[in-house]
Amino acid sequence: MRLVLFDVDGTLVDHDGAAAAGTRQWLMAMGWADAGTIAGLVSEWDEIAERHFPAYRARLTTFQGQRRLRLREFLPRVGIDASTLSDERLDELFNTYLVAYEAAWRPFPDAEPCLGALRRVAQIAVLSNGNQEQQEEKISRTSLGRYVDVVLTSDQLGVAKPDPRAFELACVHLGVPPHAAAYIGDQLEVDALAATAAGLRGIWLNRTGDPCPRGVETVNNLTDLPSLLEEPRLI
């Protein structure tokens, strides 16, 4: 392998943990939740994000647009009529959440040792469906930037995973043919299977130990990735 590409959220950085912690802090600070309602509201905020982010990934709305859509759906659940709020006010409210979410960014404990080991033998880059500016900031703030040569996102490439073109364009951008590149991410279809379809060595980071389909290369943590990459690719 000349190039190892990584997903970010759920792979290198604990997005779910940061989102949950940030949401709890945000809701309590805004006075929108108490001990009895906080868990349900955190879950609802997460579900709303999952519904609206695909529209951004499909380029049907902007990154800021999906943030506003999330708030317009969520705010009535805490007693606020979002239909009366301007986009500017929504942006202000979202920024109060963003401060709490960003403060909770943490790399997974296995991320830095893995990147450090692979950095000595291959080029390291990121390929994410997230926003370019935010993902660059996330890699920088979590101290992973010292290992990552390039951060690539669907914003920059103009196409998102699982479209094979996202992986192909990343390889073109980095000057490495797909067969000499590996890609690892925490989503089976969006990351591992899609990368394999594009000609890369797709590897599933299966942190939760879910059943793995036959023929899919997988690791349960990033600590095991360097040794896996030393082995022949499964055919």
pLDDT in tens, the chain (235 residues): 899 999 999 999 999 999 999 999 999 999 999 999 999 999 999 999 999 998 988 889 999 999 999 999 999 999 999 999 999 999 999 999 999 999 999 999 999 999 999 999 999 999 999 999 999 999 999 999 999 999 999 999 999 999 999 999 999 999 999 999 999 999 999 999 999 999 999 999 999 999 999 999 999 999 999 999 998 776 5
Task: Supply angle C-alpha 150, 151, 155, rounded to 5.
Answer: 135
DSSP letter, residue 125? E
How many other C-beta atoms lie within 10 A of the C-beta of residue 67? 24
* pLDDT score, position 89: 97
Angstrom distance (rounded) from CA 229 to CA 25: 40
Within the chain, strands assigned E span 3-6, 123-128, 150-153, 181-185, 201-205, 217-219
Strand order in the sheet with 201-205: 150-153, 123-128, 3-6, 181-185, 201-205, 217-219
Residue with tokens 């519904």: 51
Residue 38 near residue 61, CB atoms below 8 Å:
no
Count Cβ atoms below 10 Å from residue 213 Cβ, excluding itself: 11
pLDDT at 235: 55
pLDDT for the residue 199: 97
pTM here?
A: 0.93
